[in-house]
Each structure stands twice: as C-alpha cells, then as structure tokens.
Amino acid sequence: MNTSITTDLEKCRNLLKEGQLIAIPTETVYGLAANALDSKAVKRIFEMKGRPSFNPLIVHIHQMEQLPILAKDIPKKAYDLAEAFWPGSLTLILPKQDIVPEIITGGKSTVGVRMPNHPLTQELLKGLPFPLAAPSANPFTRVSPTSAQHVWDYFGDRIPAILDGGPCQVGLESTIIGFEGDTPILYRKGGIPREAIEAVVGELRVSTENETSPEAPGMLLKHYSPRTPLIVCDDIREALKQHSHKRIGVLSFFQEDFPSATKVIILSKNKMMEEAAMSLFEALHTLDASGLDLILAERFREKGLGSSINDRLFRAQN
Ligand code: TXA
Ligand code: MG
C-alpha cells in the first residue's frame, strides 16, 4: 500500500469517511483510528492489531456535547473529572448508549470515552460527522507508538495514512477511570497521576479485576513489551555485575555512568518526571532495535507519574 505520513487533514477525513483506518496523533500515544459508528471499519482495527475481540476500544470526541450521545447515567464525578482534565489524558468508562456498536465495547454495557489534547486531532475530529474509535497503534502486547515513525515501523504498508502530529508530549496512555455507582475506580494508571484525580473526586478504588483477568483487558499483564527481555531493578550497577557477560541496555532516570553497559538511555537529565514519561516508549523502541541481550530498567519512586511509569515497566518485564 502507498502509505503516506501526512498532515493533510482533508485527505485523512476522506479516508475515514470511506471506512478506512488511519493512524492519528494524540498527546498520549498514536492511535489506530476508524469511524466509531461503522462496525465494519472498527472490526478491521481488531484484525490489524491482532487484538482479541473482548478487549474494548476507546471512543475519541472533541466536545462535551458528544458525551451524553455516547454514554448515559453519567455520575456527577465523571463530569467533574471531564471538566478538570479534558481535553487530556483521561478516559472515562461509562454505561453505553445504544448508538455505540457492540464491537467497540467487546460486548460490555460500558464504553470508554476520551477527549484527546492534540491540536491536529482536534481539528480532524471537528470536521468529521462521527467520533473515532482508536486503540494505541501497536500490534497486541507491543510497545505503544509515540511518533509517526513508530507507527510506520509497525503498520507502514498496511494503512493508507499516518497523520503526523510530531512526538507525543505526554507519552503514556490515558489514565482510565470507571464507576461503581458514584464511586470512582482506577482501571489503568496513566498520563494523569492518580493523586491529581484524587484531588478532584477523593480517594480512588483500584480495580480488583485488573492485571490478569480478561474481564479487564486494559490491564493485561503482558503488555507494552519490547522483544528484548527486560528487568526492572532498584540497583542497576548491581544487576550489571550479575549479567556481565551480556550485551546490556540501561534505561535510567537521570544517571549516566554505567561503563559496562553496551547502551545507556537517560529519560530525563534534569530529573523531570514529565520528561521521563514522554521519553519512555521512544527509549524502549530504541533499545529494542539495538541488538541487545537484556534491558535493565530503573524502577521509579512509586508516586505521581513515577507510579504510571513503573506500571508500564513491570508489564514490559513479562
Ligand atoms: O491514551 C490512550 O488511551 C490511547 C490513545 C490512542 O487515546 N488509547 C489507548 O487505547 O491506550 P488502548 O485500546 O490501547 O487501551 C485502552 C484500554 C484497553 O486496554 C481496554 O481494555 C480499556 O481501555 N477499555 C476500553 N473500554 C473499556 C470498557 N468499556 N471497560 C473496561 N476497559 C475498557
Ligand atoms: Mg494499547
């Protein structure tokens, strides 16, 4: 296929109206998008990703008025969160309206909705008569793409267009919040720290059906995985000694002095958590393409975005 990496919004809209898939930039990661109201187009997303059909997709909107069209029985706390964080890296899981095709929700009675904060994709959505269903634009279980090039590397000749919005500024997938009655539940840690959400709606319960249960596929344990084995460690120097006969890549927060490593990537020289999150998947893509035997990744402090980064690192380890 003649794939183009493009900024031509009109071309992208026309492809989507024809029922085709394209990749779109968001502030979190790139998505593999289709008309959310077209079951046939949405089915092709699952096929392209090799994703099991029980694993539901997020629907992307650009204005608040679209929320009650897609979801019903919306708790006040959901509106509070939407007002605080949209457009942004927050997905709300809410009871679905009939208009949302079953294929999107994997047969569930709920739908995930998000308003992404990326100017190009907002512009794209504004000119479309339908919202966009989009999972991260990576094959099932692989590392999410944070640049047009990453998407190209995965799907280059299989989709007609990749809308190029530059590198993703948040770099971690959205934080996912659902509800039991009025109680907010954390389904996936992500680009908005748990603490920021709790400042708006009070203490979150963490979904117990996460991690390994197919009931909550967003939290499948093996996920975000490079092909190269990865170990999360507290003491990288010690781990380097233990694996001294191997070609090792180090993924470090800010330290750079690891003489026995084959390759070292620093996530943020200035010790900025936002920068570390933004650089994480790019670093995993690079290390994975560097012919290494093993990646040693430094564990972050379990706080704020550090907790979301750790979540991705632990899944990458499996
Ligand atoms: O930042 C993001 O959320 C990115 C960008 C493209 O928006 N999207 C993304 O989609 O990460 P995806 O499909 O890779 O991950 C969304 C997760 C899925 O693993 C799915 O299980 C969960 O959200 N999810 C979606 N709808 C759900 C629902 N109704 N109930 C429970 N989990 C749901
Ligand atoms: Mg994903």
pLDDT digits (tens, 9 = 90+) for 122-137: 999 999 999 999 999 9
Quote the crossing angle between the two packed helices 9-17 and 119-126, to the nearest 10°: 50
Domain that holds residue 263: 230-317
151, 174, 206: which is the final residue of a domain? Answer: 206
Residue 101 and residue 152 in one domain? yes
What is the torsional sign of CA 250, 153, 60, 141? Answer: negative
What is the torsional sign of CA 188, 192, 194, 197? Answer: negative
146 lines ligand 1 (CB under 6 A): no
Residue 201 and residue 87 in one domain? yes
Residue nearest to atom 13 of ligand 1 (CA): 135
Going from the Cα of 216 to the center of ligand 1, the distance in angstroms, rounded, reads: 10
Residue 81 and residue 141 in one domain? yes
Q: What is the mean pLDDT of residues 45-71?
A: 96
206, 222, 255: which is the final residue of a domain? Answer: 206
Residue nearest to atom 12 of ligand 1 (CA): 135
Q: Whole-angstrom Cα distance, residue 293 to residue 290?
A: 9
29 lines ligand 1 (CB under 6 A): yes
The answer on pLDDT for 214 being more than 70 is no
Which comes out higher in pLDDT, residue 218 or 299? 299
Long-range contacts of 201-207 (CB under 8 A, 24+ apart): 201/77, 201/80, 201/81, 204/177, 205/180, 207/178
Q: What is the mean pLDDT of residues 87-105?
A: 98
Q: Whole-angstrom Cα distance, residue 244 to residue 229?
A: 15
Residue at 222 is within a domain: no
Q: What is the mean pLDDT of residues 68-83?
A: 98
* 261 φ/ψ angles, rounded to the nearest 5 degrees: -80, 150
Residue at 49 is within a domain: yes
Per-residue pLDDT at 225: 85
Question: Residue 186 pairs with which residues in a beta bridge?
Answer: 177, 206
Residue at 104 is within a domain: yes
Tokens standing for residue 226: 């490079």
Residue at 236 is within a domain: yes
- Prediction pTM value: 0.96
Residue 189 and residue 301 in one domain? no
Largest CA distance in the chain: 59
Per-residue pLDDT at 300: 98
Residue 287 and residue 240 in one domain? yes
Task: Give one word for 202, left, alpha or beta, with left for phi > 0 and alpha for psi -120 to 50.
Answer: left
Residue 236 and residue 201 in one domain? no
Residue at 220 is within a domain: no
The runs of H, that is alpha helices, within 251-295 are: 273-288
**Tens digits of per-residue pLDDT, 226-237?**
999 999 999 999
CATH number at residue 297: 3.40.50.11030
Going from the Cα of 9 to the center of ligand 1, the distance in angstroms, rounded, reads: 24
Residue 82 one-letter amino acid: A
218 lines ligand 1 (CB under 6 A): yes
Peptide bond into 87 cis (omega under 30): yes
Q: What is the mean pLDDT of residues 153-157?
A: 93
Per-residue pLDDT at 212: 42
206, 240, 256: which is the final residue of a domain? Answer: 206
108 lines ligand 1 (CB under 6 A): yes
Residue 282 and residue 176 in one domain? no
Q: What is the mean pLDDT of residues 194-213?
A: 83
Q: Which positions ≥6 away from 73 have C-beta within 8 Å?
A: 94, 95
Residue nearest to atom 18 of ligand 1 (CA): 218
The answer on pLDDT for 7 being more than 70 is yes
Q: Where are the beta strands (DSSP E) in 218-309?
A: 230-233, 248-252, 263-266, 294-298
Q: How far is CA 7 from the centre of its chain?
A: 21
Average model confidence (pLDDT) across the chain: 94
Residue at 221 is within a domain: no
Q: How confident is the model at residue 157 (pLDDT cuts 50, 70, 90)?
A: confident
The number of distinct structural domains making up the chain is 2
Q: How confident is the model at residue 224 (pLDDT cuts 50, 70, 90)?
A: confident
Residue 294 and residue 199 in one domain? no
105 lines ligand 1 (CB under 6 A): yes
CATH number at residue 64: 3.90.870.10
Residue 184 and residue 239 in one domain? no
**Tens digits of per-residue pLDDT, 255-291?**
999 999 999 999 999 999 999 999 999 999 999 999 9
Residue at 153 is within a domain: yes
Question: Residue 4 pairs with which residues in a beta bridge?
Answer: 161
23 lines ligand 1 (CB under 6 A): no
Residue 126 and residue 20 in one domain? yes
Atom of ligand 1 nearest to the CA of 31: 6
Residue 234 and residue 293 in one domain? yes
Q: What is the mean pLDDT of residues 135-141?
A: 95
Atom of ligand 1 nearest to the CA of 217: 21
Residue 250 and residue 183 in one domain? no
Residue at 259 is within a domain: yes
Q: How confident is the model at residue 207 (pLDDT cuts 50, 70, 90)?
A: confident
